[in-house]
Amino acid sequence: MDKIPFLTREKAEEIAARYPTPFHVYDEKGIRQKARDVREAFAWNPGFREYFAVKATPNPFLIKILQEYGCGTDCSSLSELMLSDAIGLKGHEIMFTSNDTPAEEFRYAAQIGAIINFDDISHIDFYEREVGPLPDTVCCRYNPGGIYELANGIMDNPGDSKYGMTHAQIIEAYRILKEKRVKHFGIHAFLCSNTVTNDYYPTLARTLFTLVAEISKELGIRFDFINLSGGVGIPYSPDQTPNDIMAIGQGVHRVYDEVLVPAGMDQIAIYTEMGRFMMGPHGGLVTRAIHAKHTYKNYIGVDACAANLMRPAMYGAYHHITVLGKEDAPLTEVYDVTGALCENNDKFAIDRKLPAIENGDLLFIHDTGAHGFSMGYNYNARLWSSEILLKEDGSFELIRRAQTPRDYFATFDCFDILDGMNWEAGR
């Protein structure tokens, strides 16, 4: 699969003339098409809803685009709940999936009517003690333990994960919820991360559908929804084949008809929370080459760093890089592409074959639309970049301004040092 940037060098330079590099840029056309595709893939299920994982890309401008296509949000913190409420999502359009949850976050989720997704059986008592009576609708998170393996050899290790309840715990949790007169039930599980296969959701669906049938029969309760969570991934590397969301939706439909329909459960809604799949390929980090260093290796230094995109430093994750304007140039050089942090893992690429790069060239780092900007941090007092929306008509809009030194120092307002700060330094 060719990795083709969704903007040209000319467009990137036009943006950079107004909003200096580095910046994250998002493709409105691609985001809208993805939302339409997901909606179509699950149109067979009348209650379907995609709950976009806010942690992937917590920008209200982008989430409001998804909202136009019926998407809700999946939140894991107080601030994410506040953001969802502020942009007009209401009640059960918001799912609260958290762990080690502070009482104030449960309280706020209850206040705005979000669906509560309990991560642990002990949270039921905690909620009642700290918040009050349980809501009418409650979801529980399942963890089957062990190794979760797909037929094509992809596997993950839920047994080593801090999330969710065991089989025995989740049955007991629903028993308790029923006794406490909860009326509506959901179930949720996240068992594999970033899978590039059309088999994951159908396999997970069979696991959850079978469990729901078991619990319903044993406890006499009716489930309203089953949340397949995230895990549907994207092809970060050009040699990977993208997931086919239509095939995925059809696969889940087959399992639904095989397991739930014969059990008289054809009213159950299917939910998803595909942050990475929804937004990942539709964002990129644009950065400018500012130094070339030749020692034991050849280095290209850029004006972005791991504070702008943590995944390569944190996970060793691959992100494809295109030198804008040199898309068809031969890959004659081998570079480490680095940032300015005082950490040797601050590298976007290691031993990467690229065209010859000159200072001033713009590099497009692909697939940063999810878990890109959102994982930013301020180590070395590096500042967060701006976020730009490239609109369908070719215009662009600033949807988050770059952080300034004044922003960074604002939380030190109890110190007199701020009064003597030179805010024009370096300009």
The predicted structure's pLDDT at residue 233: 94
- 11 belongs to a structural domain: no
CA distance 67 to 206: 29
Q: Do 123 and 209 lie in a common domain? A: yes
Look up residue 219 and give its DSSP letter: H
Q: 3-class SS at 293?
A: strand
- 10 belongs to a structural domain: no
Assigned token pair, 361: 């060239």
| Helical spans, DSSP H, in 19-59 | 28-41
- 223 belongs to a structural domain: yes
The one-letter code for the residue type at 266 is D
Q: Do 77 and 163 lie in a common domain? A: yes
- 165 belongs to a structural domain: yes
Q: Do 247 and 310 lie in a common domain? A: no
CA distance 203 to 273: 16
Assigned token pair, 265: 């459960």
- 333 belongs to a structural domain: yes
Q: Do 126 and 105 lie in a common domain? A: yes
Q: Do 220 and 352 lie in a common domain? A: no
- 20 belongs to a structural domain: no
- 324 belongs to a structural domain: yes
Q: Is 342 a catalytic residue?
A: yes
The predicted structure's pLDDT at residue 156: 65
Q: What are phi and psi of 217, to 5 degrees?
A: -65, -40
Domain boundary among 237, 260, 279: 279
- Degrees (nearest 5) of the Cα angle 165, 171, 173? 70
Domain enclosing residue 239, as ranges: 28-279
Q: Are 223 and 216 in contact (CB under 8 A)?
A: yes
The residue annotated as part of the active site, out of 71, 75, 342, 414, is: 342
Note the pTM of the prediction, 2 decimals: 0.94
The predicted structure's pLDDT at residue 422: 66
The predicted structure's pLDDT at residue 151: 56
CATH code where residue 385 lies? 2.40.37.10
Q: How many domains in the chain?
A: 2
CA distance 248 to 377: 35
CA distance 223 to 220: 10
The one-letter code for the residue type at 422 is N
The predicted structure's pLDDT at residue 326: 98
Q: Name 334's bridge partners.
A: 353
pLDDT digits (tens, 9 = 90+) for 321-372: 999 999 999 999 999 999 999 999 999 999 999 999 999 999 999 999 999 9
- 51 belongs to a structural domain: yes
The predicted structure's pLDDT at residue 412: 81
| Helical spans, DSSP H, in 131-244 | 167-179, 200-219
- All residues at 6 or more sequence positions from 331 whose CB lies less than 8 Å from its CB, including other chains: 353, 354, 355
CATH code where residue 99 lies? 3.20.20.10
Assigned token pair, 275: 């942050």
The predicted structure's pLDDT at residue 368: 98
Q: Quick one: which of 36, 52, 99 has its CA closest to 272?
A: 52
Q: Do 285 and 265 lie in a common domain? A: no
Q: Which residues of the chain carry a pLDDT beneath 50? A: 155
CA distance 386 to 427: 18
As a whole number of Å, the CA-based R_g of the chain is 23
